[in-house]
Chain A
């Protein structure tokens, strides 16, 4: 198949000006753009921090130990993802599939934590997106992060199923996996920021305007 130079697949493997692949360049441009997407959501959250008039506040609903666990799961899914990629480039398809499946499972676990958390906030904390400014900004920010994770899980599972087809996923075509991995890690680093800015800063007792006790 490498001999098919006559029919150079346009936009795939032909030489490029920078020597870099089109799709990878697009992926990084997309991630730069997505920074602005989450940046604006975080900005809205921060502008409205401590401006809620009624209803539950971060300190009333957040459970740091539980969220720490889900954060840890998402971090480890990033490691799992990079392992899958490393094994693919080394030609070990079996290890690749195991790590990829575990990444998707950890992603799904994170989503389960999030759903549990949202439900818990609504039932026990009486906090919904309509309750107050904190509810609106928090659910929208973390909800869109969750939507990103969901899309990532679907993408990873698609690759996983595709890898069972003959020639579906090969070391030569590792870029297909590389792109999904970049997206996955990006979702992870967004969560790193959200965990600190929203969760930890949210319940820190000395923080301007926050309540007087951590509640733990």
Chain B
């Protein structure tokens, strides 16, 4: 072995906390993503419960208006950036390499970096509750509300920096998955043989790498305005506050599809398995996903119909928005076509998948109502919008994610969850979802604005608000059962076997939980749904029971996997420290006089220095030590 300058001994921790910090195994990173994201999701849920309790009765004063503003901002930001996106990322990590027959992702260390950076961004945001400066500008942070004049203090800076750090994490992960899916498919797996979840991961990753730079720039501009007194959103200098709305939604609308396309992918994989039929119209479902992603770029101003963009702009965006319902509808019909004539089994994953389809259709229909610009003028900024977004993101994305959790739980842990508790969870969720969010259609049409911390009685909102709050409590009970079920089954559940669902895709062809190297032998793919076809082929060849491959784990011993590394963690730590420093970089007093905070500058520079040094170490660290041919992946 040649000496590599700058290299220090590789981490060799098979167990314990350092094994998790230095891990680059995509399955472990998937678990880290999933557990962290669920913790964040539950913290967002607690914020939602507080909101609901405050709104249960008119004129309650349990929560001050200031805290209420922080609650709804944090709830939305948490759920979108720390909940749904990383939960999807957990599935990307755990499932995609298994579905394409790969032993890991293309850049294992970059993958670890993505997770730790995500954790850093999440901590920056959530720690703001402790410092008392949680952001309060709403999740889309409209200017001038986020300007320094109307929002002094560091709450918005927290929001800006945490989103920037989370953006770096998401971008790194997306580049990784684009390359992984294009470049690491098992022999024979052409693009049109990929499982739908893998397809939607690819589409989502492409959307993400194009959408996130837009919000990055918008946030940089906002930060420069706040910290250095620039003029991007300074109306007194001739700026137009509407530019923020445009930039935000140019990112924000593709972001909506970043949240929902992975969910659609999960459902498209689950429904065929529990219908025992191939996906109806595979090519159409793929194409619909691609079209949704492409058209997602042309609809952003439907969030801004009441801004006054003029009849031409409103008409154009109304038409494109209605058109985007078409590929979505195609998918729904394909899922129905898959179930038609199938031999259905209503296990928990299937129930959640069906819950997704039905709830998403309701949310989709109210979405088409928003697409009609005059109608939207009545609905804008009311609880009707709140109802819509929760039908598509809670009834939609979260239901699909829970479907995926139950579906892949036996693969992840090797054990089966408790079916009875799973069913109970589903019905509580399904009932709770509708009791919580359906009444919001009524309160919204009755004119209740979103984001109010309290309201007078007698406006026709009292009863339905109480109903919504009760529904939220039902959801909370459902999630308690879910947590209990998962925690217990992970340790004590029945042993599930490698292929409990009689699955169709490659992840079911290997033992559960998968060995570190995934596949003893990289499979040769001959068909779409290759594992299903393989089972039929084997049945024809010899009348013996079909068992998943890799029975003899010792065979895998000469498979060389990339080694763990310290550096991704330390680059992320540097970014976290640097981000924390930047938040407090400038102090702005009541007169708008800016002074540099030297302590914060020192922290920022220290964080960046740590990041740069770690990037260098990482670049000159070979993927595997015995190989003198080192990598130089400076990115």
In contact, A11 and B107 (Cβ under 8 angstroms) = yes
B276 sits at the interface (CB 8 A): no
A39 to B217, CA, bound (A): 10
Tell me the smallest distance from the CB of B429 to a CB of chain A, in Å: 36
Instruction: Choose among A8, A26, A130, A155 the residue with the greatest number of B CB atoms under 10 Å from its CB.
Output: A26
User: A residues within 8 A CB of B342?
Assistant: none
B629 sits at the interface (CB 8 A): yes
A52 to B234, CA, bound (A): 11
A146 to B271, CA, bound (A): 51
In contact, B237 and A132 (Cβ under 8 angstroms) = yes
Known: A18-B183, A47-B243. A11 touches B224 (CB 8 A): no
User: B residues within 8 A CB of A48?
Assistant: 232, 238-240, 243
User: B residues within 8 A CB of A196?
Assistant: none
In contact, A140 and B213 (Cβ under 8 angstroms) = no
Tell me the smallest distance from the CB of A163 to a CB of chain B, in Å: 11
B623 sits at the interface (CB 8 A): yes
User: A residues within 8 A CB of B106?
Assistant: 11, 22, 25-26
User: B residues within 8 A CB of A130?
Assistant: 228-231
User: B residues within 8 A CB of A124?
Assistant: none
Contact of A13 among B104, B108, B243, B629 (CB under 8 A): B629
A165 to B3, CA, bound (A): 11
Known: A10-B560, A25-B182. A32 touches B217 (CB 8 A): no
* Interface hits, B612-635 → A, CB 8 Å: 616, 620, 622-624, 626-629, 631-635
A9 to B4, CA, bound (A): 16
User: A residues within 8 A CB of B104?
Assistant: 10-11
A133 to B224, CA, bound (A): 12
B247 sits at the interface (CB 8 A): yes
In contact, A7 and B183 (Cβ under 8 angstroms) = no
A105 to B184, CA, bound (A): 39
In contact, B624 and A9 (Cβ under 8 angstroms) = yes
In contact, A129 and B175 (Cβ under 8 angstroms) = no
Beta-carbon nearest neighbor of B107 in chain A:
A11
Beta-carbon nearest neighbor of B208 in chain A:
A33
In contact, A129 and B224 (Cβ under 8 angstroms) = yes
Beta-carbon nearest neighbor of B561 in chain A:
A10
Interface string of B227-255 (1 = CB under 8 A from A): 01111100001111001000100100000
In contact, B103 and A10 (Cβ under 8 angstroms) = yes
In contact, A25 and B108 (Cβ under 8 angstroms) = no
User: A residues within 8 A CB of B622?
Assistant: 9
Contact of A10 among B211, B214, B562 (CB under 8 A): B562
In contact, A44 and B221 (Cβ under 8 angstroms) = yes
B361 sits at the interface (CB 8 A): no
A23 to B183, CA, bound (A): 10
In contact, B239 and A33 (Cβ under 8 angstroms) = no
B210 sits at the interface (CB 8 A): yes
Beta-carbon nearest neighbor of A40 in chain B:
B217
Contact of B220 among A47, A140, A179 (CB under 8 A): A140
* Interface hits, B551-577 → A, CB 8 Å: 558, 560-562
A94 sits at the interface (CB 8 A): no
Known: A1-B629, A7-B627. A44 touches B560 (CB 8 A): no
Instruction: Using C-beta atoms within 8 Å of the partner chain, give the interface range for chain A.
Output: 35 or more
In contact, B243 and A20 (Cβ under 8 angstroms) = no
B136 sits at the interface (CB 8 A): no
Tell me the smallest distance from the CB of B411 to a CB of chain A, in Å: 22
Beta-carbon nearest neighbor of B619 in chain A:
A158
User: B residues within 8 A CB of A26?
Assistant: 106-107, 175-176, 178-179, 635
In contact, B623 and A12 (Cβ under 8 angstroms) = yes
Contact of B217 among A18, A27, A37, A155 (CB under 8 A): A37
Tell me the smallest distance from the CB of A190 to a CB of chain B, in Å: 13
Contact of B214 among A9, A20, A40 (CB under 8 A): A40
Tell me the smallest distance from the CB of A149 to a CB of chain B, in Å: 16
User: A residues within 8 A CB of B182?
Assistant: 17-18, 25
A135 sits at the interface (CB 8 A): yes
In contact, A33 and B171 (Cβ under 8 angstroms) = yes
* Interface hits, B183-197 → A, CB 8 Å: 183-185, 189
In contact, A17 and B183 (Cβ under 8 angstroms) = yes
Tell me the smallest distance from the CB of A165 to a CB of chain B, in Å: 7
B5 sits at the interface (CB 8 A): yes
In contact, A132 and B238 (Cβ under 8 angstroms) = yes
User: A residues within 8 A CB of B189?
Assistant: 17
Known: A40-B214, A176-B632. A165 touches B183 (CB 8 A): no
In contact, B635 and A29 (Cβ under 8 angstroms) = no
Top 7 A-B pairs, shortest CB-CB distance: A37-B213, A40-B217, A36-B213, A136-B230, A33-B209, A176-B632, A16-B183
Q: 27 A-B pairs, CB-CB below 8 angstroms? A: A1-B629, A8-B560, A9-B623, A9-B624, A11-B106, A11-B108, A11-B631, A17-B184, A23-B633, A25-B179, A29-B178, A30-B175, A30-B209, A33-B171, A33-B210, A34-B213, A40-B247, A41-B217, A44-B232, A52-B237, A132-B231, A132-B238, A158-B616, A162-B620, A165-B5, A167-B628, A176-B632
Add 20 more A-B contacts to A26-B635, A33-B212, A40-B214 (CB < 8 A). Answer: A7-B624, A9-B623, A9-B631, A10-B108, A11-B623, A13-B629, A17-B184, A17-B185, A36-B210, A36-B214, A44-B232, A53-B237, A129-B228, A129-B230, A130-B228, A132-B231, A135-B231, A140-B221, A140-B230, A158-B616
